[in-house]
Structure 1
Amino acid sequence: MQNVKGTYDFWGKEQALRLQVQETLRRCFELYDFTAMDTALLNELELLTSKYAGGDEILKEMYQLSDQGGRRLGLRYDLTIPFAKVVALHPGIELPFRRYEMGKVFRDGPVKKGRLREFLQCDADIAGIAGPQAEAELMQLAVQVFGALEIPVVLKWNNRTFLGELLEAVGVPPEEHLSVMLTLDKLAKTGTDGVLNELAAKGLSSDAVRGIAGLLAQESPDFTRLTETFGLAGKPGALEVLELERLTATLGLSGVCSFDPFLSRGLSFYTGTVYEIFDATGSYTSSLGSGGRYDAIIGKLSGREDIPYPTVGISFGMEAIMALLGDRPLPEPNAAVLIVPLGGTLPQALLAAAALREAGIRAALESGGRKLKKILASASARGTRYVMLIGEDEAAEDKVLLKDMREGTEELLPLEQAIWQLEA
């Protein structure tokens, strides 16, 4: 008996840290006025395989199945398409609509550190804001999340419209832009030679390949230099980049958010800004989060492309974050109070535990039959702050002996007074 490859069970210290990370994300999402959502794991295969859903690469990794009625279904492989489906199914939804979701997704792809086949994604999306405000807010959110997690990051960003303008300027025809962008997305993995070889294999003209080679050969090509070199000032994509660049500078995000003119993201549905988040120390090379603007999906799914649904989102990779936090000391899921019955005082100990829990105080009951010395040593090693001893003498006086393991003190108190003290 074993787990399916790429799936894991989490408990104890690791699960405690996972919940701590999720709570940090939830708290940050709600600070930015996102409301919670929970979408279906099972979806119609036609929805997941639609041409709006992300391209052939991701569909190769989709888990497909059928139910007893012969309906063709698939397990969701991200949280974006299910979110778009919800908005498309409810055309009267009030905009802007801001939601967050943390849930399992499934991909039948290669397994490596931080990349599983069943994994948790944590997304935030905003539908109904066309300008750069939404992108700027999500960048602020990302910086705040990783600051709270004490992970130094760099957020690389670009604009797909601007990248299209850049490709056209070096001789790539518009009908080839998406294909070239999908190849450029592999630049960090395959290097310049790998990108150029793949483009040539795709049948891109030699002039266009040479143009891209010249583009990639530029040293530190910043936005200003590129717009001046290729005459892109005033183009729609360039104006979007300029507006967001000014916003990030004003917000003090320039030190973390870095413009990368070759970042493209591998999904075909992105229409404007795209971004990807990396560990700033370089110790972990995979992406910790990503996202971007996808203005066309919801309208296309609803069959009403005339209705504007400007939408932008960000996704935090839980498994990648956990892989990076792997060597960090883990919190122990301890009880706040350990109750120890001594002698025949189990009924009184159970009553004390019930009273503590009724007061909202987490409590555990010692039941191992160990010697008191070992119980106290174990509690101290695990970081348990309080131990409540109830022996026959304490029970007779209707009191408890409350030990503060951190301060090394103890008090004989009525249970009600002990609860009051623990709540203070």
Structure 2
Amino acid sequence: MQNVKGTYDFFGKRQAVRKQAQSTLEQVFELYDFDGMDSTILNELDLLTSKYAGGEEILKEMYRLTDQGERRLGLRYDLTIPFAKVVALNPGIELPLRRYEIGKVFRDGPVKKGRLREFLQCDADVVGIAGPEAEAELMQLAAEVFRRLDLPVVLRWNNRRFMGEWLKALGVPAGDALSVMLTLDKVEKIGPDSAARELLDKGIVPDAVRSILDLLGDDGFTFEKAADVCGLGETPGMLEVRSLQSLIRELGLEQICRFDPFLSRGLSFYTGTVYEIFDASNAFTSSLGGGGRYDAIIGQLIGREDLAYPTVGISFGMESIIELLEARRIKTPDASAIVLPIGDVSGPALRTAQALRAAGIRTSLGGSGRKLKKALAAASARGIRYAVLIGEDEAALGQVRIKDMERQMENSLPLEEAAAYIRAGIENAESPASANI
């Protein structure tokens, strides 16, 4: 018996790290006034393979199946297309719509560190805002998420419309622009020479390839320089880039958000700004998240290509984030107290645990068959500070013995006072004054 390749069961400390990261994301999403959503995992194959969906690369990795009615179906490979479907199926939905979703997606692709075949995605999207303030707010949201997770990151960003403009100025036909973008997007992995060969193999004229290579070799390549070299002027893409960069400066995000002229991301549906998030130390190379603007998908899905639903989103790569958190041994919550019954007192022990939990104290319940010394040692090893001991004598008196294993103190208290005593100790330990002692 074994798991399917690229799938894992999570429990214990690994699951605690996952839940902590997921909780952090949910808190920030809701702080920014995004509402939760659950979209369908099973979808019609025609939707997932639509020419407006993910593009050829991702369709190769899609899981396809047939139900008993011979309907052609597929498992969702991201949360974006199912979300676009929800908006398309509900034309009366109030805009702007701010939604987040955390759910599993499936891709039959290569398995490596931080990349699985069954994995969690965490998305936030805004429908109905055409201006760059939507992208800027999502950048703020991402910065807040990683600040709370204590993970220094870099968010690289670009604009596909602007990229298409300077590629056209260098001699790349509009019909080949997306293919060229996908090659340039992986130039860091394959190198400029391999990128040039790939562009020539795609039929791009040598003069255009040489001009692109010149830009690839320019370490100081900025959007201002691109506009100047290519003679763009006030093009729509250039104006979008300039407006977003102005907001980034105003919001103090320049240290995190850096313009990358060759970033385009692999999905075909992006129409403007795109961004991707990476570990700032470069020790972890997998992407930690990404997203961008996709104004055309929803209108295309309902057969109204003339109807724009301005939409921008961001997706956090939970598996990559978890890998990075585990590598840095992030501290996860554990029980603050453990109730240890001594003798045949399972009922009083359960009532004691219930009273502590009712006071908001995370409480573990020990078994009565274990020797007390070993149970105390195991609790101490888990970092549990308070051991609440209850035997037949304590049960008869309505009391418990509380052992503070950090301070090596023991007190006997009535059960109704035990929760307040432990809660006071926890709050004192968490206070700034206590932390500085």
* TM category, shorter: over 0.9
Structure 1 residues 25-424: aligned runs within 5 Å: 25-331=25-331, 334-367=334-367, 369-424=369-424
TM-score, scaled to structure 2: 0.94
Percent identity of paired positions between Structure 1 and Structure 2: 66
TM-score, scaled to structure 1: 0.97
Q: Alpha-carbon deviation of 1:420?
A: 3.0
Q: Which amino acid aligns with 2:213?
A: A
In the alignment, is the contact (CA less than 8 A) between 1:12 and 1:333 conserved in 2?
Answer: no
Give a deviation string over 1:112-139, Cα, whole Å, max 9, x none.
Answer: 0001101111111111000000000011
Distance 1:332 1:310, change over 3 A: closer
Distance in 2 between the 1:225 and 1:360 partners? 58
Q: Which amino acid aligns with 2:4?
A: V
In the alignment, is the contact (CA less than 8 A) between 1:12 and 1:332 conserved in 2?
Answer: no
Q: Alpha-carbon deviation of 1:49?
A: 0.1
Give a deviation string over 1:349-405, Cα, whole Å, max 9, x none.
Answer: 122223333444333221162221111111111111221111222122111112222
Q: Which amino acid aligns with 2:309?
A: Y
Distance in 1 between the 2:250 and 2:332 partners? 41
Distance in 2 between the 1:26 and 1:155 partners? 20
Q: Alpha-carbon deviation of 1:332?
A: 5.3
In the alignment, is the contact (CA less than 8 A) between 1:63 and 1:106 conserved in 2?
Answer: yes
2:12 aligned partner: 12
SS of equivalent residue, structure 1 residue 379:
helix
Give a deviation string over 1:45-81, Cα, whole Å, max 9, x none.
Answer: 0000000101100000000000000000000000110
Q: Alpha-carbon deviation of 1:223?
A: 1.7
Give a deviation string over 1:158-197, Cα, whole Å, max 9, x none.
Answer: 0000000110111111111111112212212111112111
Count of aligned pairs? 424
Q: Alpha-carbon deviation of 1:330?
A: 4.6
SS of equivalent residue, structure 1 residue 43:
strand
Unmatched tracts of structure 1, length 5 or more? none
Unmatched tracts of structure 2, length 5 or more? 425-437
In the alignment, is the contact (CA less than 8 A) between 2:340 and 2:368 conserved in 1?
Answer: no
Give a deviation string over 1:190-244, Cα, whole Å, max 9, x none.
Answer: 1111211111111222222222222222232112222122222201000000000
1:24 aligned partner: 24
93-102 or 305-314, which moves further after superposition?
305-314
SS of equivalent residue, structure 2 residue 267:
coil
In the alignment, is the contact (CA less than 8 A) between 2:343 and 2:368 conserved in 1?
Answer: no
Q: Which amino acid aligns with 1:314?
A: I
